[in-house]
Amino acid sequence: MDLPPPQKRKRSASPPPLQPSAAPIDLSLLEALEKSQQNTIETLDLKTLKKLALSLERRLNANTAARLKYPDNPDKFADSELELHDELQKLKILAGAPELYPDLVSLGTVNSITGLLNHDNTDIAIDAVTLLQDLTDADVIEDNDESAQVLVEALIENNAVELLVQNLGRLSDSDPDESAAIYNTLSTIENLIEVKPSVSELVCEKTKLLKWLQARIKIREFDSNKQYASEILAILLQNSVANQKRFGQMNGVDTLLQAVAMYKSKDPKTGDEEEMVENLFDCLCCLLMPLENKEKFVKAEGVELMIIIMNQKKSCYGSAIRALDFAMTNYPPACERFIDVMGLKTAFPAFMVSILYKAMGFLCIVPLSKKNKKKHSKEELEERLISLIASLFGGILRGSRRERLLSKFVENECEKIDRLMELYMRYSNRVKAETERLNQLELDDLELIAVILGHLWTSEHPRMRARIELLLKQQKLTKKDVKDILQEYHDNIGDLDGPEEKERAQSKIVKFISALK
Protein backbone atom coordinates (compact mmCIF):
# COMPACT_ATOMS: atom_id res chain seq x y z
CA MET A 1 0.00 0.00 0.00
CA ASP A 2 1.36 3.38 -0.97
CA LEU A 3 1.05 5.55 2.11
CA PRO A 4 1.10 9.32 1.69
CA PRO A 5 2.86 11.27 4.40
CA PRO A 6 0.72 12.52 7.24
CA GLN A 7 -0.79 15.83 6.27
CA LYS A 8 -2.48 17.42 9.17
CA ARG A 9 -2.59 20.98 10.22
CA LYS A 10 -2.88 21.80 13.89
CA ARG A 11 -4.38 25.00 15.11
CA SER A 12 -1.59 27.45 15.81
CA ALA A 13 -0.21 27.57 19.31
CA SER A 14 -1.15 30.63 21.27
CA PRO A 15 1.54 33.25 21.78
CA PRO A 16 2.89 33.64 25.31
CA PRO A 17 0.44 35.56 27.49
CA LEU A 18 1.11 39.23 28.07
CA GLN A 19 1.56 40.55 31.58
CA PRO A 20 -1.61 42.22 32.92
CA SER A 21 -1.55 45.96 33.28
CA ALA A 22 -1.47 47.35 36.78
CA ALA A 23 -3.77 50.26 35.88
CA PRO A 24 -7.55 49.79 35.30
CA ILE A 25 -8.62 49.81 31.66
CA ASP A 26 -10.76 52.70 30.48
CA LEU A 27 -13.29 50.97 28.22
CA SER A 28 -14.58 54.23 26.79
CA LEU A 29 -11.12 55.08 25.51
CA LEU A 30 -10.74 51.64 23.96
CA GLU A 31 -14.10 51.94 22.24
CA ALA A 32 -13.18 55.34 20.87
CA LEU A 33 -9.83 54.03 19.64
CA GLU A 34 -11.47 51.03 17.98
CA LYS A 35 -14.01 53.27 16.27
CA SER A 36 -11.31 55.59 14.97
CA GLN A 37 -9.33 52.62 13.63
CA GLN A 38 -12.39 51.27 11.84
CA ASN A 39 -12.99 54.64 10.22
CA THR A 40 -9.35 54.75 9.13
CA ILE A 41 -9.56 51.32 7.54
CA GLU A 42 -12.75 52.21 5.70
CA THR A 43 -11.08 55.25 4.09
CA LEU A 44 -7.79 53.53 3.33
CA ASP A 45 -6.90 54.02 -0.31
CA LEU A 46 -3.84 54.42 -2.54
CA LYS A 47 -3.42 58.05 -1.54
CA THR A 48 -3.34 57.15 2.14
CA LEU A 49 -0.95 54.28 1.44
CA LYS A 50 1.47 56.61 -0.31
CA LYS A 51 1.41 58.98 2.66
CA LEU A 52 2.13 56.09 5.05
CA ALA A 53 4.91 54.76 2.84
CA LEU A 54 6.54 58.18 2.50
CA SER A 55 6.34 58.78 6.23
CA LEU A 56 7.99 55.43 6.92
CA GLU A 57 10.83 56.21 4.53
CA ARG A 58 11.44 59.57 6.17
CA ARG A 59 11.57 58.05 9.66
CA LEU A 60 13.80 55.24 8.45
CA ASN A 61 16.23 57.63 6.77
CA ALA A 62 16.30 59.84 9.87
CA ASN A 63 17.04 56.89 12.10
CA THR A 64 19.77 55.62 9.80
CA ALA A 65 21.40 59.06 9.67
CA ALA A 66 21.24 59.47 13.45
CA ARG A 67 22.79 56.06 14.04
CA LEU A 68 25.62 56.80 11.62
CA LYS A 69 26.28 60.21 13.17
CA TYR A 70 26.13 59.07 16.81
CA PRO A 71 27.01 55.35 16.78
CA ASP A 72 28.17 55.38 20.39
CA ASN A 73 25.46 57.62 21.84
CA PRO A 74 22.06 55.86 21.84
CA ASP A 75 20.36 58.87 23.42
CA LYS A 76 20.92 60.76 20.18
CA PHE A 77 18.93 58.31 18.04
CA ALA A 78 16.41 57.05 20.62
CA ASP A 79 13.72 59.51 19.55
CA SER A 80 14.08 58.55 15.89
CA GLU A 81 13.53 54.91 16.80
CA LEU A 82 10.40 55.72 18.74
CA GLU A 83 9.11 57.55 15.67
CA LEU A 84 10.08 54.59 13.47
CA HIS A 85 8.20 52.28 15.85
CA ASP A 86 5.10 54.46 15.52
CA GLU A 87 5.26 54.36 11.72
CA LEU A 88 5.44 50.57 11.68
CA GLN A 89 2.41 50.44 13.96
CA LYS A 90 0.47 52.68 11.58
CA LEU A 91 1.18 50.36 8.66
CA LYS A 92 -0.76 47.57 10.36
CA ILE A 93 -3.98 49.06 9.00
CA LEU A 94 -2.91 47.73 5.60
CA ALA A 95 -4.04 44.31 6.76
CA GLY A 96 -7.54 45.70 6.28
CA ALA A 97 -6.89 46.37 2.58
CA PRO A 98 -4.88 43.49 1.09
CA GLU A 99 -5.91 44.63 -2.39
CA LEU A 100 -3.34 47.42 -1.95
CA TYR A 101 -0.44 44.97 -1.48
CA PRO A 102 0.73 45.27 -5.12
CA ASP A 103 0.94 49.05 -4.61
CA LEU A 104 2.87 48.49 -1.38
CA VAL A 105 5.35 46.44 -3.38
CA SER A 106 5.65 48.92 -6.24
CA LEU A 107 6.35 51.74 -3.80
CA GLY A 108 9.37 49.81 -2.48
CA THR A 109 7.99 49.74 1.05
CA VAL A 110 8.27 45.96 1.30
CA ASN A 111 12.01 46.27 0.82
CA SER A 112 12.21 48.76 3.68
CA ILE A 113 10.11 46.63 6.03
CA THR A 114 12.17 43.55 5.24
CA GLY A 115 15.40 45.43 5.89
CA LEU A 116 14.17 46.33 9.37
CA LEU A 117 14.15 42.64 10.30
CA ASN A 118 17.91 43.08 10.60
CA HIS A 119 17.76 46.32 12.60
CA ASP A 120 20.28 46.66 15.42
CA ASN A 121 17.47 47.49 17.82
CA THR A 122 15.71 44.20 18.52
CA ASP A 123 12.49 46.05 19.34
CA ILE A 124 12.36 47.51 15.83
CA ALA A 125 13.03 44.08 14.33
CA ILE A 126 10.18 42.71 16.43
CA ASP A 127 7.92 45.49 15.13
CA ALA A 128 8.77 44.45 11.56
CA VAL A 129 8.06 40.78 12.31
CA THR A 130 4.69 41.64 13.88
CA LEU A 131 3.77 43.78 10.88
CA LEU A 132 4.61 41.01 8.42
CA GLN A 133 2.65 38.52 10.50
CA ASP A 134 -0.40 40.78 10.32
CA LEU A 135 -0.06 41.42 6.59
CA THR A 136 0.30 37.72 5.73
CA ASP A 137 -2.31 36.38 8.14
CA ALA A 138 -4.42 33.68 6.49
CA ASP A 139 -7.70 35.38 7.41
CA VAL A 140 -6.48 38.59 5.78
CA ILE A 141 -5.34 37.12 2.46
CA GLU A 142 -7.92 34.34 2.19
CA ASP A 143 -9.91 36.04 -0.58
CA ASN A 144 -7.01 38.00 -2.08
CA ASP A 145 -4.81 35.30 -3.51
CA GLU A 146 -3.29 37.39 -6.33
CA SER A 147 -2.37 40.25 -4.00
CA ALA A 148 -0.94 37.78 -1.51
CA GLN A 149 1.19 36.18 -4.20
CA VAL A 150 2.61 39.58 -5.18
CA LEU A 151 3.47 40.39 -1.56
CA VAL A 152 5.06 37.00 -0.85
CA GLU A 153 7.12 37.10 -4.04
CA ALA A 154 8.43 40.52 -3.04
CA LEU A 155 9.28 39.30 0.45
CA ILE A 156 11.21 36.35 -0.98
CA GLU A 157 13.10 38.58 -3.43
CA ASN A 158 14.09 40.84 -0.54
CA ASN A 159 15.43 37.92 1.52
CA ALA A 160 12.68 38.07 4.12
CA VAL A 161 12.85 34.31 4.67
CA GLU A 162 16.56 34.41 5.50
CA LEU A 163 16.19 37.48 7.71
CA LEU A 164 13.25 36.03 9.62
CA VAL A 165 15.27 32.93 10.51
CA GLN A 166 18.36 34.98 11.39
CA ASN A 167 16.20 37.02 13.72
CA LEU A 168 15.14 33.85 15.56
CA GLY A 169 18.75 33.39 16.61
CA ARG A 170 18.79 36.55 18.70
CA LEU A 171 15.40 36.11 20.39
CA SER A 172 14.97 34.53 23.81
CA ASP A 173 11.97 33.10 25.64
CA SER A 174 13.18 34.70 28.85
CA ASP A 175 11.82 38.03 27.58
CA PRO A 176 8.00 38.06 27.08
CA ASP A 177 8.18 40.38 24.07
CA GLU A 178 10.87 38.31 22.39
CA SER A 179 9.00 35.09 23.17
CA ALA A 180 5.94 36.54 21.45
CA ALA A 181 8.19 37.55 18.53
CA ILE A 182 9.34 33.94 18.16
CA TYR A 183 5.74 32.92 17.80
CA ASN A 184 5.07 35.69 15.27
CA THR A 185 8.16 34.74 13.27
CA LEU A 186 7.05 31.12 13.01
CA SER A 187 3.55 32.28 12.15
CA THR A 188 4.88 34.48 9.34
CA ILE A 189 6.91 31.61 7.91
CA GLU A 190 3.83 29.42 8.04
CA ASN A 191 1.79 32.09 6.28
CA LEU A 192 4.40 32.38 3.52
CA ILE A 193 4.27 28.62 2.96
CA GLU A 194 0.48 28.73 2.88
CA VAL A 195 0.60 31.24 0.02
CA LYS A 196 3.63 29.74 -1.76
CA PRO A 197 4.28 26.06 -0.82
CA SER A 198 7.73 26.08 -2.44
CA VAL A 199 8.88 28.27 0.47
CA SER A 200 8.97 25.10 2.59
CA GLU A 201 11.99 23.83 0.66
CA LEU A 202 13.47 27.28 0.11
CA VAL A 203 13.61 28.05 3.82
CA CYS A 204 15.35 24.74 4.58
CA GLU A 205 17.80 25.13 1.71
CA LYS A 206 18.86 28.72 2.41
CA THR A 207 18.55 29.03 6.19
CA LYS A 208 19.24 27.15 9.42
CA LEU A 209 15.57 26.87 10.32
CA LEU A 210 15.66 23.07 10.54
CA LYS A 211 18.58 23.30 12.96
CA TRP A 212 16.70 25.86 15.06
CA LEU A 213 13.55 23.73 15.14
CA GLN A 214 15.59 20.65 16.03
CA ALA A 215 17.15 22.45 18.99
CA ARG A 216 13.74 23.68 20.03
CA ILE A 217 12.06 20.28 20.20
CA LYS A 218 15.03 18.90 22.15
CA ILE A 219 14.11 21.13 25.09
CA ARG A 220 12.40 18.95 27.69
CA GLU A 221 10.08 21.60 29.10
CA PHE A 222 6.84 22.22 27.26
CA ASP A 223 5.80 25.70 26.15
CA SER A 224 3.68 27.19 23.38
CA ASN A 225 6.66 27.94 21.17
CA LYS A 226 7.90 24.35 21.40
CA GLN A 227 4.44 23.29 20.31
CA TYR A 228 4.51 25.70 17.38
CA ALA A 229 8.02 24.57 16.43
CA SER A 230 6.75 20.98 16.20
CA GLU A 231 3.93 22.15 13.94
CA ILE A 232 6.22 24.08 11.62
CA LEU A 233 8.57 21.11 11.39
CA ALA A 234 5.66 18.85 10.40
CA ILE A 235 4.66 21.33 7.69
CA LEU A 236 8.21 21.47 6.34
CA LEU A 237 8.49 17.68 6.18
CA GLN A 238 5.02 16.78 4.95
CA ASN A 239 5.43 16.85 1.19
CA SER A 240 9.14 17.41 0.66
CA VAL A 241 11.42 14.42 0.15
CA ALA A 242 14.34 16.87 0.05
CA ASN A 243 13.46 18.17 3.52
CA GLN A 244 12.87 14.65 4.82
CA LYS A 245 16.31 13.58 3.66
CA ARG A 246 17.94 16.79 4.86
CA PHE A 247 16.51 16.45 8.36
CA GLY A 248 17.38 12.75 8.40
CA GLN A 249 21.00 13.65 7.71
CA MET A 250 20.87 15.99 10.71
CA ASN A 251 20.17 13.05 13.02
CA GLY A 252 16.51 14.03 12.93
CA VAL A 253 15.20 10.50 13.43
CA ASP A 254 17.02 10.15 16.73
CA THR A 255 15.91 13.64 17.79
CA LEU A 256 12.26 12.79 17.25
CA LEU A 257 12.56 9.41 18.94
CA GLN A 258 14.03 11.10 22.01
CA ALA A 259 11.24 13.70 21.96
CA VAL A 260 8.40 11.16 21.85
CA ALA A 261 10.17 8.82 24.31
CA MET A 262 9.32 11.34 27.02
CA TYR A 263 5.70 10.23 26.66
CA LYS A 264 6.19 6.47 26.55
CA SER A 265 4.83 6.01 30.05
CA LYS A 266 2.95 9.26 30.66
CA ASP A 267 0.25 11.28 28.98
CA PRO A 268 0.52 14.95 27.99
CA LYS A 269 -0.85 17.22 30.71
CA THR A 270 -2.84 19.59 28.51
CA GLY A 271 -4.57 19.69 25.16
CA ASP A 272 -1.82 21.90 23.74
CA GLU A 273 0.85 19.48 24.89
CA GLU A 274 -1.12 16.62 23.37
CA GLU A 275 -1.17 18.45 20.04
CA MET A 276 2.57 18.91 20.23
CA VAL A 277 3.12 15.17 20.75
CA GLU A 278 0.87 14.41 17.78
CA ASN A 279 2.89 16.89 15.72
CA LEU A 280 6.08 15.09 16.72
CA PHE A 281 4.67 11.77 15.57
CA ASP A 282 3.57 13.42 12.32
CA CYS A 283 7.17 14.56 11.85
CA LEU A 284 8.44 11.06 12.56
CA CYS A 285 6.05 9.47 10.06
CA CYS A 286 7.00 12.00 7.38
CA LEU A 287 10.65 11.34 8.08
CA LEU A 288 10.11 7.60 7.60
CA MET A 289 9.22 7.98 3.93
CA PRO A 290 12.80 7.84 2.52
CA LEU A 291 14.45 4.43 2.71
CA GLU A 292 17.61 5.74 4.40
CA ASN A 293 15.55 7.15 7.28
CA LYS A 294 13.79 3.82 7.81
CA GLU A 295 17.24 2.33 8.25
CA LYS A 296 18.15 5.00 10.80
CA PHE A 297 14.89 4.30 12.63
CA VAL A 298 15.68 0.60 12.98
CA LYS A 299 19.30 1.25 14.05
CA ALA A 300 18.13 3.76 16.66
CA GLU A 301 15.85 1.08 18.13
CA GLY A 302 12.76 2.93 17.03
CA VAL A 303 10.85 -0.34 16.59
CA GLU A 304 11.54 -1.28 20.19
CA LEU A 305 10.47 2.17 21.44
CA MET A 306 7.17 2.04 19.56
CA ILE A 307 6.41 -1.40 21.00
CA ILE A 308 7.18 -0.11 24.51
CA ILE A 309 4.79 2.78 23.93
CA MET A 310 2.09 0.38 22.74
CA ASN A 311 2.56 -1.84 25.80
CA GLN A 312 2.21 1.15 28.12
CA LYS A 313 -1.24 1.84 26.60
CA LYS A 314 -1.02 5.60 27.06
CA SER A 315 -2.33 8.26 24.69
CA CYS A 316 0.52 7.70 22.20
CA TYR A 317 -0.59 4.10 21.59
CA GLY A 318 -2.15 4.68 18.18
CA SER A 319 0.57 7.09 17.08
CA ALA A 320 3.17 4.40 17.78
CA ILE A 321 1.27 1.94 15.57
CA ARG A 322 1.15 4.57 12.84
CA ALA A 323 4.91 5.15 13.05
CA LEU A 324 5.58 1.40 12.89
CA ASP A 325 3.40 1.10 9.82
CA PHE A 326 5.37 3.81 8.04
CA ALA A 327 8.67 2.23 9.08
CA MET A 328 7.65 -1.25 7.92
CA THR A 329 6.05 -0.31 4.61
CA ASN A 330 8.32 -1.64 1.84
CA TYR A 331 11.17 -2.17 4.31
CA PRO A 332 11.69 -5.84 5.33
CA PRO A 333 14.44 -5.11 7.95
CA ALA A 334 11.90 -3.21 10.05
CA CYS A 335 9.42 -6.08 9.71
CA GLU A 336 12.10 -8.56 10.77
CA ARG A 337 13.06 -6.46 13.78
CA PHE A 338 9.39 -6.14 14.73
CA ILE A 339 9.00 -9.91 14.89
CA ASP A 340 12.37 -10.44 16.59
CA VAL A 341 11.48 -8.11 19.48
CA MET A 342 8.12 -9.80 20.06
CA GLY A 343 6.03 -7.20 18.28
CA LEU A 344 3.45 -9.79 17.24
CA LYS A 345 2.45 -10.24 20.89
CA THR A 346 1.64 -6.54 21.01
CA ALA A 347 0.05 -5.96 17.61
CA PHE A 348 -2.38 -8.88 17.42
CA PRO A 349 -4.12 -8.31 20.76
CA ALA A 350 -4.85 -4.78 19.51
CA PHE A 351 -6.11 -6.25 16.24
CA MET A 352 -8.47 -8.53 18.14
CA VAL A 353 -9.82 -6.05 20.68
CA SER A 354 -13.25 -4.71 19.70
CA ILE A 355 -13.49 -1.96 22.34
CA LEU A 356 -10.25 -0.03 22.60
CA TYR A 357 -9.08 2.31 25.26
CA LYS A 358 -10.49 5.78 24.85
CA ALA A 359 -7.05 7.34 24.61
CA MET A 360 -5.73 4.87 22.03
CA GLY A 361 -6.14 7.12 19.01
CA PHE A 362 -4.06 8.19 16.08
CA LEU A 363 -4.51 11.07 13.70
CA CYS A 364 -5.80 10.02 10.31
CA ILE A 365 -3.86 11.34 7.33
CA VAL A 366 -5.85 14.33 6.12
CA PRO A 367 -4.97 17.45 4.12
CA LEU A 368 -3.48 20.26 6.15
CA SER A 369 -5.79 23.17 6.79
CA LYS A 370 -6.19 25.55 9.67
CA LYS A 371 -9.63 24.18 10.55
CA ASN A 372 -9.10 20.49 9.74
CA LYS A 373 -8.47 18.31 12.76
CA LYS A 374 -9.72 14.74 12.73
CA LYS A 375 -10.36 13.04 16.05
CA HIS A 376 -9.13 9.61 16.94
CA SER A 377 -11.39 6.61 16.47
CA LYS A 378 -11.40 2.88 17.00
CA GLU A 379 -12.06 2.33 13.31
CA GLU A 380 -9.06 4.38 12.20
CA LEU A 381 -6.86 2.32 14.49
CA GLU A 382 -8.24 -0.85 12.93
CA GLU A 383 -7.35 0.47 9.48
CA ARG A 384 -3.79 1.21 10.57
CA LEU A 385 -3.42 -2.27 12.07
CA ILE A 386 -4.65 -3.83 8.83
CA SER A 387 -1.96 -1.90 6.96
CA LEU A 388 0.68 -2.94 9.49
CA ILE A 389 -0.20 -6.63 9.17
CA ALA A 390 -0.19 -6.33 5.37
CA SER A 391 3.28 -4.76 5.61
CA LEU A 392 4.45 -7.71 7.71
CA PHE A 393 3.25 -10.21 5.14
CA GLY A 394 4.86 -8.20 2.37
CA GLY A 395 8.17 -7.92 4.20
CA ILE A 396 8.49 -11.40 5.69
CA LEU A 397 8.35 -13.87 2.81
CA ARG A 398 10.03 -16.99 4.17
CA GLY A 399 11.83 -18.63 7.07
CA SER A 400 11.00 -18.95 10.74
CA ARG A 401 9.70 -15.41 10.99
CA ARG A 402 7.13 -16.17 8.30
CA GLU A 403 6.08 -19.26 10.22
CA ARG A 404 5.68 -17.25 13.42
CA LEU A 405 3.51 -14.75 11.58
CA LEU A 406 1.33 -17.43 9.99
CA SER A 407 0.98 -19.30 13.28
CA LYS A 408 -0.81 -16.30 14.75
CA PHE A 409 -3.71 -17.03 12.42
CA VAL A 410 -4.00 -20.65 13.55
CA GLU A 411 -3.94 -20.20 17.31
CA ASN A 412 -7.15 -20.06 19.36
CA GLU A 413 -9.27 -21.81 16.74
CA CYS A 414 -8.24 -19.40 13.95
CA GLU A 415 -9.82 -16.45 15.75
CA LYS A 416 -7.72 -13.92 13.83
CA ILE A 417 -9.04 -15.24 10.52
CA ASP A 418 -12.54 -14.76 11.96
CA ARG A 419 -11.63 -11.18 12.83
CA LEU A 420 -10.13 -10.63 9.40
CA MET A 421 -13.28 -11.87 7.67
CA GLU A 422 -15.41 -9.71 9.96
CA LEU A 423 -13.48 -6.66 8.75
CA TYR A 424 -13.60 -7.91 5.16
CA MET A 425 -17.39 -8.08 5.27
CA ARG A 426 -17.70 -4.67 6.90
CA TYR A 427 -15.67 -2.90 4.23
CA SER A 428 -17.15 -4.98 1.42
CA ASN A 429 -20.68 -4.00 2.43
CA ARG A 430 -19.73 -0.35 2.60
CA VAL A 431 -18.17 -0.44 -0.84
CA LYS A 432 -21.34 -1.98 -2.25
CA ALA A 433 -23.63 0.45 -0.45
CA GLU A 434 -21.68 3.61 -1.25
CA THR A 435 -20.50 3.10 -4.80
CA GLU A 436 -21.23 6.65 -5.88
CA ARG A 437 -19.57 8.35 -2.92
CA LEU A 438 -16.96 5.74 -2.18
CA ASN A 439 -14.39 6.56 0.45
CA GLN A 440 -11.08 5.59 -1.16
CA LEU A 441 -9.58 4.75 2.23
CA GLU A 442 -12.27 2.11 2.77
CA LEU A 443 -11.59 0.53 -0.63
CA ASP A 444 -7.87 0.54 0.15
CA ASP A 445 -8.54 -1.25 3.43
CA LEU A 446 -10.71 -3.85 1.73
CA GLU A 447 -7.94 -4.49 -0.80
CA LEU A 448 -5.34 -4.85 1.95
CA ILE A 449 -7.52 -7.37 3.77
CA ALA A 450 -7.83 -9.32 0.52
CA VAL A 451 -4.03 -9.25 0.17
CA ILE A 452 -3.64 -10.65 3.70
CA LEU A 453 -6.15 -13.40 2.83
CA GLY A 454 -4.05 -14.10 -0.28
CA HIS A 455 -0.96 -14.56 1.87
CA LEU A 456 -2.83 -16.91 4.20
CA TRP A 457 -4.28 -18.94 1.33
CA THR A 458 -0.94 -19.40 -0.46
CA SER A 459 0.61 -20.71 2.76
CA GLU A 460 -1.34 -23.88 1.88
CA HIS A 461 -2.11 -24.45 5.55
CA PRO A 462 -5.17 -26.75 5.58
CA ARG A 463 -6.79 -25.28 8.71
CA MET A 464 -6.42 -21.74 7.41
CA ARG A 465 -7.88 -22.61 4.02
CA ALA A 466 -10.76 -24.51 5.61
CA ARG A 467 -11.55 -21.60 7.91
CA ILE A 468 -11.50 -19.06 5.10
CA GLU A 469 -13.77 -21.21 2.92
CA LEU A 470 -16.20 -21.77 5.81
CA LEU A 471 -16.46 -18.06 6.59
CA LEU A 472 -16.90 -17.14 2.94
CA LYS A 473 -19.67 -19.71 2.63
CA GLN A 474 -21.42 -18.41 5.76
CA GLN A 475 -21.49 -14.95 4.18
CA LYS A 476 -22.69 -16.35 0.86
CA LEU A 477 -19.41 -15.37 -0.78
CA THR A 478 -16.93 -17.29 -2.88
CA LYS A 479 -13.20 -17.14 -3.53
CA LYS A 480 -14.07 -15.34 -6.77
CA ASP A 481 -15.23 -12.33 -4.71
CA VAL A 482 -11.81 -12.14 -3.08
CA LYS A 483 -10.13 -12.62 -6.47
CA ASP A 484 -12.10 -9.70 -7.91
CA ILE A 485 -10.86 -7.41 -5.12
CA LEU A 486 -7.30 -8.64 -5.66
CA GLN A 487 -7.60 -8.00 -9.39
CA GLU A 488 -8.68 -4.42 -8.72
CA TYR A 489 -5.76 -4.01 -6.33
CA HIS A 490 -3.44 -5.42 -9.01
CA ASP A 491 -4.71 -2.97 -11.60
CA ASN A 492 -4.32 0.01 -9.26
CA ILE A 493 -0.71 -0.62 -8.24
CA GLY A 494 1.31 2.42 -9.24
CA ASP A 495 4.94 2.79 -10.20
CA LEU A 496 5.87 5.33 -7.52
CA ASP A 497 8.59 2.96 -6.31
CA GLY A 498 9.77 2.25 -9.84
CA PRO A 499 8.69 -0.13 -12.64
CA GLU A 500 10.58 -3.10 -11.19
CA GLU A 501 8.84 -2.82 -7.82
CA LYS A 502 5.48 -2.45 -9.57
CA GLU A 503 6.11 -5.59 -11.61
CA ARG A 504 7.19 -7.49 -8.51
CA ALA A 505 4.09 -6.43 -6.56
CA GLN A 506 1.75 -7.27 -9.43
CA SER A 507 3.41 -10.66 -9.88
CA LYS A 508 2.73 -11.46 -6.23
CA ILE A 509 -0.96 -10.57 -6.58
CA VAL A 510 -1.23 -12.71 -9.72
CA LYS A 511 0.02 -15.68 -7.67
CA PHE A 512 -2.68 -15.03 -5.08
CA ILE A 513 -5.36 -14.87 -7.77
CA SER A 514 -4.12 -18.08 -9.38
CA ALA A 515 -4.03 -19.89 -6.04
CA LEU A 516 -7.65 -18.98 -5.23
CA LYS A 517 -9.08 -21.53 -7.69
Chain segment 438-461, per-residue pLDDT in tens: 555 567 888 899 999 999 999 999
pLDDT at position 31 is 54
* Mean of pLDDT values over 353-380: 43
Biggest alpha carbon–alpha carbon distance for the chain: 93
Tell me the average pLDDT across 85-97: 94
Q: Band of the pLDDT at 486, cuts 50, 70, 90?
A: very high
Contacts of residue 253, Cβ cutoff 8 Å, sequence gap at least 6: 284, 287, 288, 293, 296, 297, 300, 302
**What mean pLDDT, rounded, does the chain reach?**
86
Output the pTM of the full model: 0.84
Domain ranges of the chain: 409-517
- The sign of the dihedral angle between the CA atoms of 205, 209, 212, 218 is negative
Give the pLDDT of residue 380: 80
How many beta carbons lie within 10 A of that of residue 29, not counting itself? 9
The mean pLDDT value for 305-333 works out to 93
Whether the predicted pLDDT of 494 surpasses 90: no
- pLDDT-derived band at 141, boundaries 50, 70, 90: confident
Q: Which long-range contacts (CB under 8 A, 24 or more apart) does 347-352 make?
A: 347/310, 347/321, 347/385, 347/388, 347/389, 348/408, 348/416, 350/310, 350/321, 350/381, 350/385, 351/382, 351/385, 351/389, 351/416, 351/419, 352/415, 352/416, 352/419
pLDDT range class, residue 492, cuts 50, 70, 90: confident
265-312 tens-digit pLDDT = 899 999 999 999 999 999 999 999 999 999 999 999 999 999 999 999
The CA radius of gyration of the chain, in Å to the nearest whole number, is 28
Over range 252-268, report the average pLDDT. 95
With a cut of 80, say whether residue 374 has pLDDT above it: no
